[in-house]
Amino acid sequence: MGKKSKKNRQNQNKPDLGLHASRLGIDLGGTKILAGVVDDQGRILGSAKRKTRPERGVDEVIARIVKTAQDAVVDAGLDMSAIKAIGIGAPGVADYRTGVIEFAPNLNNWVNVALGPRLEQALGVPVIVENDVNAGTYGEATVGAAAGYRSVVGIFPGTGIGGGIILDGRLLRGAHNAAGEIGHMVVLIDGPRCGCGRRGCIEALASRTAIERDILGELRGGRKSLISELIDPDNPQITSGTLATALAERDPLVTDVIERAAYHLGVFTGSLINGLDPECVVYGGGLIEACGPVMLPIIRETTYRYLIRPIEPDRLPILEAALGDNAVLLGAAMLAAVEAEPA
* Strand-pair partners of 321: none
Q: Read off the pLDDT of each residue in 214-234 and give the average, rounded to a whole number.
A: 91
Measured from the Cβ of residue 321, the count of other Cβ atoms closer than 10 Å reads 23
* Average of per-residue pLDDT values in the chain: 90
More confident residue, 147 or 343: 147
244 residue type, one letter: A
pTM of the model: 0.89
Say what percent of the chain tops pLDDT 70. 93
Q: Please report the domains of the chain, with CATH numbers, ordered by start residue.
A: 6-130 (3.30.420.40), 145-322 (3.30.420.40)
**Residue 59 in this model has a pLDDT that exceeds 80:** yes
Q: What confidence category does residue 233 fall into, taking pLDDT thresholds of 50, 70 and 90?
A: confident
What 8-state DSSP symbol labels residue 213? H
Q: What confidence category does residue 84 fall into, taking pLDDT thresholds of 50, 70 and 90?
A: very high
Listing DSSP states for 91-156 in one string gives: SSEEETTTTEEEEEGGGTSEEEE-HHHHHHHHHSS-EEEEEHHHHHHHHHHHHSTTTT-SSEEEEE
**Residue 19 in this model has a pLDDT that exceeds 50:** no
- φ/ψ of residue 216, rounded to 5: -65, -35
Q: Read off the pLDDT of each residue in 251-273 and give the average, rounded to a whole number.
A: 97
Convert the pLDDT of each residue in 109-143 to its tens digit: 999 999 999 999 999 999 999 999 999 999 999 99
Q: What is the pLDDT of residue 21?
A: 53
